[in-house]
Amino acid sequence: MSINCIRTLLEDANISHKDKIALVHNDKQITYEELFKRVNQVAFYLKELDLPKDSRIGIYSTKSIDQVIAILAILSTDYILVPLTRLLQPEQIEYIIEDCDIKCIITDKVKIEKIEKSNFNGQIISYERTEQNLASFEEIYKYYNKPYTCDVNGHDNAVITYSFGLTGKPKGIVISHRNLIDSARVVSQYLKLKEEDVISGTLIFNLDYGLNQIFCSLYKRATLALHRFILAGDFFNHIIKDKVTILPLMPINITQMFDEEEHKLPSAELLSNIRVITSSGGNVTEKMLKDLDKYFPDAKFYSMHGLTEAFRSTYLEPSQIWIRPDSIGKAIPDVELYIINEQGQECKPREVGELIHRGGYIYKGYWNAPVETKERFKSIKILKDVINLEGELCDEIVVASGDYVYKDEEGYLYFVSRRDDMIKTRGFRVSPYEIESVVYKNIPQIEQCAVFSIENQEIEEEIVLVYSSRSELPVNEIVFELKKHLASYMIPSKIFYNKSLPLVPSDKNKINKEILKENIINNI
């Protein structure tokens, strides 16, 4: 058995902490010994399906203890896990099934109908017994009690994750077993996680940030408290009732937490168990930081920046969050980061260039997409003018992230834009992210905003700002404030108010700019 796999953590936890509570969900809980037993039962059944090695198995269900068992069971075989978020529509599920040829799907009663609409012809396993007489975890737990052993190779493919963006077909990113355990190790290290911690499992498990909560819990023999965020009140009850100490969030969760009247929110004393809060996947505004400070005054807040092609690149230490709140921080342990310009030379402080990720946590590439893989996963020769490649040691792979960033004089990094997001107007390249950051920082009445461009033949592209707030603001007041902080060519020429902004169905942390753009073009 490889030491570089999640299966090893599970086996060791069963020996050293078998009576420790591993998972909590509502009023249910399970020990490491019980978890190990159930994972083995499901893994045994999966192997009896006799699918070819590296067959893809999807998980499409709501959050539950059985969902975590399914994840760990697949990772205890030589099959590959494909998480399918419950937010996806049947046509999106159908796309993923076809793209990576999923042979089996594990699901719950609610999702079976959607799977059937996707014309899936493979094996379906349900957590509960069904009228369709499908195999179920209930039956597996009852009848499968034989010993189970496995030999997982740390370099083998473990997971393929898909992220549906706003345009184009999604690409699956391939993650190895070693990637999973490396990411658990590094996060446990810099967050200083402890065996006594209770980690909130609020994030969905379709991407690596969410899955990492499971693996960090195993790595430290901690407890993972599962929760599905629907209402702020229920979420705070989860924190208090489950005695959560580690709180991983997306920025949208922070907004949702405090989108309540103040008298309905719990006191800071009731939330004092929280010692670490993390956020990744988007911009954290000043209002979010103030709310967190008010209700979690003793918690350390870590802002983090990850890549599709590598688990994580940077984090900002809690001590810096109010000194440089717009920074994405510095490289995490075992990672080297470089910023290079179009000539391949290292950028000077304040000069914008592409972020190059070297070192640990790099994933294996895009599934069945050699052109896209070659575009992002580059030879270290891309850094030939930056580092010493003496000895022709040029087989190393680095990630050309497509993120445009700059560093300050102290080496802290700042995100500017994605390569494909840049707006070209009046001969200048403009970052929508930069304009949005100024809005959030200087116009507190605005709750959400989106900046994008529409075609204008006279100036290439015209900048548009759409925002939401409790009430509409005078356009001239918005423009007046923006002119204090932005160059004239960066000021949006069109500003629109919406009571709320549409979100991407598969990622509630992203505003759906394509729908906004389409609505504006249709109404011009």
**Residue 166 pLDDT > 50:** no
Q: For the residues of 428-450, what is the DSSP string, one character each?
A: EEE-HHHHHHHHHHH-TTEEEEE
Q: Which residue has the higher pLDDT, 142 or 285?
A: 142
Distance CA 74, CA 57 (A): 7
Distance CA 41, CA 191 (A): 33
**Residue 286 pLDDT > 90:** no
- pLDDT value for 167: 44
* Alpha-carbon distances, residue 321 vs 19, 89, 136, 328, 344 (angstroms): 39, 38, 47, 10, 31
Q: What rounded mean pLDDT belongs to the chain?
A: 92
Distance CA 415, CA 191 (A): 22
**Residue 168 pLDDT > 60:** no
- pLDDT value for 506: 61
Domain stop point among 148, 176, 204:
176
3-class state of residue 297 by DSSP: coil
Task: Name beta bridge partners: 47.
Answer: none
For residues 453 and 509, membership in a common domain is answered with: yes
* Residues 5-17: tens digit of each pLDDT: 999 999 999 999 9
3-class state of residue 254 by DSSP: helix
Query: Among 23-27, 358-362, 432-436, which is the least confidently predicted range?
Result: 432-436
* Alpha-carbon distances, residue 343 vs 199, 339, 340, 382, 383 (angstroms): 45, 11, 8, 10, 11
CATH of the domain at 404: 2.30.38.10
- pLDDT value for 422: 76
Asked if residues 176 and 156 have their Cβ atoms less than 8 Å apart, the reply is yes
Q: How many CB atoms lie within 10 A of CB 156?
A: 16
For residues 448 and 404, membership in a common domain is answered with: no
115 in any annotated domain: yes
**Residue 489 pLDDT > 50:** yes
For residues 408 and 344, membership in a common domain is answered with: yes
For residues 411 and 451, membership in a common domain is answered with: no
Distance CA 301, CA 303 (A): 7
CATH of the domain at 516: 3.30.300.30
491 in any annotated domain: yes
Q: What are phi and psi of 390, to 5 degrees?
A: -55, 135
What is the token pair recorded at 497?
Answer: 């108010």
For residues 412 and 440, membership in a common domain is answered with: no
> What is the mean pLDDT of the segment spanning 29-43?
98
Query: Among 35-39, 99-103, 254-258, 467-471, which is the least confidently predicted range?
Result: 254-258
Among residues 69, 101, 96, 74, the alpha carbon closest in space to that of 84 is found at 96
- pLDDT value for 302: 97
> What is the mean pLDDT of the segment spanning 34-61?
97
For residues 364 and 512, membership in a common domain is answered with: no
Asked if residues 312 and 361 have their Cβ atoms less than 8 Å apart, the reply is yes
CATH of the domain at 70: 3.40.50.980
> What is the mean pLDDT of the segment spanning 160-176?
78
Domain stop point among 384, 418, 452:
418
DSSP state of 488: G
For residues 169 and 41, membership in a common domain is answered with: yes
For residues 330 and 460, membership in a common domain is answered with: no
Q: Which residue has the higher pLDDT, 166 or 140?
A: 140
201 in any annotated domain: no
> What is the mean pLDDT of the segment spanning 350-375?
94
125 in any annotated domain: yes
**Residue 164 pLDDT > 70:** no
317 in any annotated domain: no
69 in any annotated domain: yes
Q: What percent of the chain has pLDDT over 70?
A: 97
For residues 50 and 163, membership in a common domain is answered with: yes
Domain stop point among 159, 176, 193:
176
Residue 511 belongs to domain spanning: 422-523
- pLDDT value for 89: 67
For residues 454 and 372, membership in a common domain is answered with: no
Distance CA 77, CA 290 (A): 45
Considering its fold, how many domains does the chain have in total? 3
Task: Name beta bridge partners: 449.
Answer: 467
229 in any annotated domain: no
450 in any annotated domain: yes
Asked if residues 333 and 190 have their Cβ atoms less than 8 Å apart, the reply is yes
- pLDDT value for 430: 82
* Residues 331-347: tens digit of each pLDDT: 999 999 999 998 999 99
**Residue 86 pLDDT > 90:** no
- pLDDT value for 255: 85
**Residue 386 pLDDT > 80:** yes
- pLDDT value for 295: 97
* Residues 184-219: tens digit of each pLDDT: 999 999 999 999 999 999 999 988 999 999 999 999
* Residues 108-119: tens digit of each pLDDT: 988 888 887 777
For residues 349 and 472, membership in a common domain is answered with: no
For residues 412 and 430, membership in a common domain is answered with: no
**Residue 57 pLDDT > 80:** yes
Task: Name beta bridge partners: 403.
Answer: 418
